[in-house]
Structure 1
């Protein structure tokens, strides 16, 4: 069963202040199947492919982008993780859309998929109309064979219908709690659209530096979907009077920001994997208090398990308001480790939006320090490449920006201060909840 751990970034806050204070709160849900001993669940997987003219361009190393996609789909159809009974849906889109393949995995799947996608590479369209492709996939998933579902989309161009994707597709993803995983390749696609789709659906966004990596990405998402045995996670919040939860992020397994309206108390947070921990961060604005111990927020989590049962747990977060300077300075290192990983993404976003090269360089240098602190591979690599581009040309290349934002989201790591499964001292919560 899942295990709930809740911890505030600080256990002591300054008492008798006249202004509110921000208190980050970590919510960690421990997976119960870390060893992967339980059988994976059957899944319905929909893959939506951009087949606009630009997909016919040659990539580094030889071959066209669309040819690499065909190879990746062939690999997926024969992958050992695609078990008999799994459902596979393949959709293409450019100026219009069509379903290339829909079937239940079995002995003839590889041959059937190869036949279905064979002509895709020779029939590229003139525009990028993503809405039609996503609508076809959503309609197919509406009658899907399995409750375990995932939607993937790959694009290399700026969607001409981005407002429609925002206005029509994103609300349906939220309503159905269906995670969308977006893959972008090259420097012309709209990363802001893929980021919005990822955050709005509790999904992910990946920038593909190499088209050869797409096959591995498809397999990873298939495997992940099979391990999401905690479906439709909801978090209900009861802040103490005067307090308000202003933000919520997922940090592990990947970073995402969940839109939250002022005063919202019931949040949909996607699905839980049973083979790893999931970590969220709440940003709680706390009202001024006198010295003493006070409740900050009560939270309750609930999701549906694979067998139809409901998992529930709750926690009460309390802190002490004090005038003791030494106590106020103490922090929880595990929580601050996750805060730094979120901060890395924010710093890279500020570098992207900076008005001058000097300002962008300052943000990149700070991001490099944070990346080194949290052990993100961006440190000294892609961040340094971006800094050199700024020095040389006065700007950061579009594809470098995409690489930075994607890596900061998808390379988050379990904190070194988080107890591992089986380590003595791992408890449900050290808050007495």
Structure 2
């Protein structure tokens, strides 16, 4: 794994409080991991409520059957179905007799309400039965509706998800159609160290399940932990997209990293250099368990510094636009979230203004660096702006905005 560290401002003014961003990029080259991969311990938790009848349920069965075909005797699998009742369709077992498992899968029939929490917790309990810390332990939750039975309070559900993730079981969520709670499913995936997928059309289910499965089959690093030990003149004010554990060292845990994956972490600092010359920002510590080396722990410790100067030319030319770009793209995701809140309250003019202002900022950045990713974000903001201007803020449009915002944050 390659670790790159950049600073938004290489030069700072002495004796002034300034904001600086550290950008840490973890890059895992694309490599073949089939033989060395960690075993997978996965529970499929499937909504079978009445609204899943027809195409949704048919494609769900097809997607799970496809996933089962790609597991082998190293892996453990279970399947839970839920409506107002929760049933264990397939108890936790090795993925050996896959033809029999698929036959049982096809017996699912649609039913009543949506006890999402009950299905989730049953899936977690089945993963716990086969839990091994060195394995990939994950629950895949698919639903098309609202949580209207069991625990329905989002805050209580999220607390449970955080507790589950702290025990090394991650959760990915799949929302089908236009009637599920996208805010809840996104928050569950992010709190649970997994991924969220918006499935607007049921026929894309197999493709999306394959995307998730290929990630699980190609994990190269687990138990990623980042810590920042700031120097005396530095304060860590945030890590964008994460809830840090505050202390002498500011720490976060990161989701697993895959073959071909890049993770970008943005650390927000306030700095007040006390001397002209070299200014230490502190030390960045990173460690992970290498799947390709029998889960041996790999450690990186990097000292970070900038230079304090009064030279205006150095101050003007020492800005790293690549770091600025990543900060602004993250800010774009935050602005989309705020625009959705305004639109939810019926304040479409404010939603439009927020999106348009951020679009102008990205236009200025694009003029400086001609970056294709910035241009892509500009085009997405323009599409979102047009939705707010026309007040064509449908359930599908909101879900698409939420999904793209999550995708922006997911690479972190």
Q: Do both share a fold (TM > 0.5)?
A: yes
Alignment match of 2:282 (pick from 267, 290, 297): 297
Query: What is the count of residue pairs matched by the alignment?
Result: 389
Please tell me the root mean square deviation across aligned C-alpha atoms, in Å: 2.7
Q: Say whether 1:29 aligns with 2:14.
A: no
Partner Cα separation in structure 1 for residue 374 and residue 87 of structure 2: 40
Structure-2 change in CA distance of 1:154 and 1:240 (3 Å): same
1:374-432 per-residue CA deviation (whole Å, 9 max, x = no partner) reads 5379657665554343333x362232122122123326799xxxxxxxxxxxxxxxxxx
Runs of 5+ in structure 2 lacking a partner? none
Contact 2:174–2:196 under 8 Å retained in 1: yes
The CA deviation at 1:22 is: 2.1
1:20-419 matched pairs, under 5 angstroms:
20-31=17-28, 33-36=29-32, 39=35, 40-56=37-53, 63-78=54-69, 81-101=70-90, 102-106=92-96, 108-109=97-98, 111-122=99-110, 124-126=111-113, 128-144=114-130, 147-160=135-148, 161=152, 162-173=154-165, 175-249=166-240, 257-263=241-247, 265-287=250-272, 289-306=274-291, 307-329=294-316, 330-354=318-342, 356-366=347-357, 370=362, 373-375=371-373, 383-392=381-390, 394=391, 396-410=393-407
TM-score (norm 1): 0.81
Partner Cα separation in structure 2 for residue 374 and residue 205 of structure 1: 25
Partner Cα separation in structure 1 for residue 12 and residue 58 of structure 2: 58
Contact 1:183–1:208 under 8 Å retained in 2: yes
Partner Cα separation in structure 2 for residue 155 and residue 183 of structure 1: 6
SS in 2 for 1:231: strand
Runs of 5+ in structure 1 lacking a partner? 57-62, 250-256, 415-433
Partner Cα separation in structure 2 for residue 398 and residue 24 of structure 1: 36
Contact 1:341–1:374 under 8 Å retained in 2: no
Structure-2 change in CA distance of 1:273 and 1:164 (3 Å): same
Q: Say whether 1:12 aligns with 2:8.
A: no
SS in 1 for 2:130: coil
Structure-2 change in CA distance of 1:37 and 1:176 (3 Å): closer
